[in-house]
Amino acid sequence: MDLGIAGRVAIVTGGASGIGAATVRLLAQEGVRVAVWDLTAQETVGAELIQSVDVTSLTAVAAAWQHTEEHLGSVDILVHAAAIGSGHFGFPYTRVPVSAWDRVLQVNILGMVHLAHVAGPAMQSRGQGAMVFLASVAGQIGSQTDPPYSASKAANINFAQCIAKDLAASGVRVNSVCPGMVKTPLNESVWKSWHDQQPAEKRRSYEDWAADKIHQVIPLRRWQQPDDIAAMIVFLCSARAGEVTGQTINVDGGCVMHS
């Protein structure tokens, strides 16, 4: 299937690892010229341009956007996958110190705001573009595992809908993708924190414990993989999804179902 995006230019934030890196590879396979923005700025398969960018700085985001367009051309696609967890474990939320919220909100919410304020007007002025923001099923179900992360992802979903409504008349589409249980470094760090809370007499290996949890909470009874999420992201960026905007798409093995 021709997705109709060959030759376009994309930015993928958080593109050096996990879902972001998988998205870079799939976009490149479709003939897209991809710039990776990531604090680590490490080599990424499929990337033509790699920059170290701190999304919590509006100035840094604006400068990186200009640099990308100077080297690759006008940006048609933005995939925002950069995010962090708090590093703390909830159940209840009072176990997470208030001080742990600040950095999560800076990266996960204000980072998105900064990107939207730079990408939105640029795409609007050209009358085309697609943005996909990586959210999470945690933002839909009030996950207690990491309350700051969960709350920030709910904000991502809501703000993406606001952007979609504002930019639709200009031909710019905006959607959110919510992964379920994906084997990424971020997810593993959160789940290991959960695992480590188990009483000593019930403690098992992390792998066995996590496998049982997947069977309990995922109807398809398997982990999702980064490529599963990337495939949906790339589709939403494509001409094949030309009538899709303002949507929140779950790729979660059936974890969260909507009527």
**Residues annotated as catalytic (active site), given as ranges:** 149
Please name the residue that has the structure tokens 């949507």: 247
Count the neighbouring beta carbons within 10 Å of the beta carbon of residue 83: 26
What distance in Å separates the CA atoms of residue 27 and residue 29, rounded to the nearest whole number? Answer: 5
Residue 255 tokens read as 């974890």
Count the neighbouring beta carbons within 10 Å of the beta carbon of residue 1: 6
